[in-house]
Structure 1
Amino acid sequence: MPSDADRTRQYYDALGEREWTRLTDSVAGRVAFEVHRRFLARFVRAGDRVLEIGAGPGRFTLELAALGARIVVTDLSPVQLELNRRHVGPTDAERRVEQRIECDVRDTAGFGDGAFDAVVAFGGPLSYAFEEAEQAVRGLLRVVGPRGVVLASVMSTLGTWRQALPSVTGVAERVGDEVNDAVLADGDLRLIDRTEHACRMFRWRQLRDLVEQAGGRVVAASASNWASLGDPSVLEPLERDPDRWRHFLDNEVGACAEPGALDGGTHLIFAATSAA
């Protein structure tokens, strides 16, 4: 039986170019990208050295370069690393890339203490660490040291339930309510036999506890979506009007940061520093 890391690698190898379009092929995806992008811009400054974990084909590599960061690009999937090279390589952003390395979020031992000003692990790398998630967060905090920041997002249990309710009810019919309830409680999709995409989703309180157990503290948090998860037919006309769209995004970003909304998006976004 393949390991969790092998399954994740195989999943993203097979996903290929679809990972590049994931944040652009729907209104909700484009909103999630903008919420992540603005969150990133709050913490990364020109000249910062950034370790990008799970960089994929380069959506956020390009954003980090635009902010003036120096980037070490990593991914568990060699296919995604090659796509990163293909999408970023022909652009001016390539000058900001120091190197590309295959790397698992659970193993950052090859990087020195405090070697980076920030770690960016957007899109869910920590959701694939499973039982080693605490070790993974400790490693990320170590490589940024006491003055650095870890910026990451994980899959949201309740937001996914909200967004994918037809699929969730279908799974419950197939595997039974007991298994489905266990997934809702713990977020671990490995509990579902033959699931194509095995990952660990989180509730906000579980994520906060994980960071604290790893020796960190959360300094900012956001959902990736709120109002934008529903009614794409309402949002599409707004998106065609730049002024109205900007106004909607401002309101959406504000809503996503409200404590009562943190569990409401497909992903939970957070910034963490060392508690020491």
Structure 2
Amino acid sequence: MTEAVDVDRALKSKHRVMWGLGNYPAVATEVIPELGPVVAAAGGVRAGDRVLDIAAGSGNVAIPAAALGAQVVATDLTPELFDAGRKMAADADVELEWREADAEDLPFEDGEFDVVLSCVGVMFAPHHQRAADELVRVCKEGGRIAVLSWTPTGFIGEMFKAMKPYAPAPPPGSQPPPLWGEESHVRELFGDRVRDLTARREVLQVSRFRDPEDFRDFFKENYGPTIAVYRNIAGDDAKVEALDRDLVDLARKYSAGGDSSAGGDSPGMDWEYLLVTGVRSTS
């Protein structure tokens, strides 16, 4: 048992470091800012609700939820992201609580929250059932749940597939994050503890990048998982060049407008996600 606990602590420590690499708040604010309000709306957040945002990062969902008048607690395994979140909350003239917390072992009582949310966050907890169990546990009976995750067949899911050959082998028992983007997987995780479950695939149109190379360079500099993979192959020029090509090829495949470096509008990319909503069942 002690060995298993030590392994889990080491894994969580690695995850914390990974998400602290680069500048995830830049990804949240420059690339996917629209997703936070989508999740808050899907969760039916209302003034006075007690809301938990799991794996909140810098508050992409938590801040819009607080702006609706909710009492929000934003949690994340990587508290280094909170400084940027506090600044953005102050700029938005909202207040919320920031708590360091492991999505698989939340420091809250059963049924403590009216609404539990996560936006491309809880999906990265390595043990999906543990994370789902905690998410459901802290939601009160009749409370609302909304979780947004990248799909395996969408752009981000394909990006993780492209990076996999260059990444270290995942620890035993950990599961691929984009599985949270499969409806059947989420239904199995929640079981009969969540009723009125709906799942719909939607697309985020991303136009932040000038061209595929700009996407690659931005993610190499700012996105923790991509930075970690490049660090894993640092010193192997052939692998670095190959991954550079693979990411550019993937971005080009998903770009609607081609290379716009000569001017004009940025090429758009469609990034697919799964939005799951439901209600915590009564006993």
Letter in 2 for 1:125: V
**Unmatched tracts of structure 1, length 5 or more:** 176-188, 240-263
The CA RMSD over aligned residues, in Å, is: 3.4
Q: Which residue among 157, 177, 180 is the counterpart of 1:200?
A: 177
Q: Which residue among 93, 112, 117 is the counterpart of 2:114?
A: 117
Native 8 Å contact 2:25 2:81 kept in 1 = no
- Deviations along 1:231-253, one digit per CA (max 9) or x if unpaired, are 156999899xxxxxxxxxxxxxx
1:136 corresponds in structure 2 to 131
**Unmatched tracts of structure 2, length 5 or more:** 1-6, 207-253
* Percent of paired sites with the same residue: 23
Structure 1 residues 145-184: aligned runs within 5 Å: 145-160=140-155, 164=159, 168=161, 174=165
Native 8 Å contact 1:222 1:269 kept in 2 = yes
Q: Which residue among 201, 214, 225 is the counterpart of 2:203?
A: 225
Distance 1:169 1:80 in 2: 26
Letter in 2 for 1:100: W
User: Are 1:7 and 2:11 an aligned pair?
Assistant: no
Q: Which moved more, 1:49-58 or 1:33-42?
A: 33-42
Distance 1:134 1:7 in 2: 20
Q: Which has a greater percent of strand?
A: 2
Letter in 2 for 1:231: A
Evaluate the alpha carbon distance shift between residue 81 and residue 275 of structure 1 in structure 2; reply closer, same or farther with a 3 A threshold: same
Distance 1:162 1:123 in 2: 12
1:259 corresponds in structure 2 to none
Ranked by relative contact order (alpha carbons within 8 Å, sequence separation 6 or more), the top structure is: 2
Structure 1 residues 69-148: aligned runs within 5 Å: 69-94=70-95, 97=96, 99-108=97-106, 110-130=107-127, 133-148=128-143
Q: Which has a greater percent of helix?
A: 1
Letter in 1 for 2:11: D
Distance 2:87 2:142 in 1: 33
Evaluate the alpha carbon distance shift between residue 232 and residue 74 of structure 1 in structure 2; reply closer, same or farther with a 3 A threshold: farther
Shift of 1:156: 2.0
**Alignment TM-score, normalising by the size of structure 2:** 0.64
Aligned partner of residue 106 in structure 1, secondary structure: coil
Structure 1 residues 53-64: aligned runs within 5 Å: 53-64=54-65
Shift of 1:13: 1.4
Aligned partner of residue 145 in structure 1, secondary structure: strand
Shift of 1:60: 2.0
